[in-house]
Amino acid sequence: MSYLDKIVTELAKQEQQNKTIFNYVIPDLWDSADVKVDKIDVKDGNLIVNPYQFFQSLIKDEFLNKTKKKADFSKPYYLGQPKNKIKGLRNGD
């Protein structure tokens, strides 16, 4: 069992033990179509979520489910990028 699996298991245990309503806010930039949890949009650039459900879904859908993704999260992102430069780009374009 990987460390991420252990984290998901522990989050599930904590969710069962803590049945309270949370006022846990994340930036709406963290919202992903793959992360399917109940969200409340507060219209100020934030979302209210259940932290246990959100992080379980995030870990399962974005990191553990590698069958849909071609990314290898064990390697740095820049190593998989093409080395040739695109013509016409300058000054950080």
- The pLDDT assigned to 82 comes to 67
Task: State the distance between the two ends of the chain, measured CA to CA, in whole angstroms.
Answer: 42
85 part of a folded domain = no
Domain contains 88 = no
| Residue 17: inside a domain | yes
The stretch 84-93 carries a mean pLDDT of: 67
pLDDT in tens, 55-88: 999 888 888 876 555 666 677 766 766 677 677 7
29 belongs to a structural domain: yes
Q: Is residue 82 part of a domain?
A: no
Task: Quote the pTM value.
Answer: 0.67
Task: Look at residue 72 and tell me if it is in a domain.
Answer: no
Q: How many domains does the chain have?
A: 1
Q: For 33-42, what is each residue's pLDDT tens digit?
A: 767 888 888 9
Task: Give residue-wise pLDDT tens across range 47-59.
Answer: 999 999 999 998 8
Does a structural domain hold residue 34?
yes
Q: Half-sphere exposure of 89 toward its Cβ, with a 13 Å CA cutoff? A: 6
- In a domain, residue 81? The reply is no
Domain containing 59: what range? 3-65
User: Rounded distance, CA 14 to CA 10, Å?
Assistant: 6
Nearest residue to 50 via CA among 10, 5, 9, 11 = 11
Averaged pLDDT, 14-31: 88
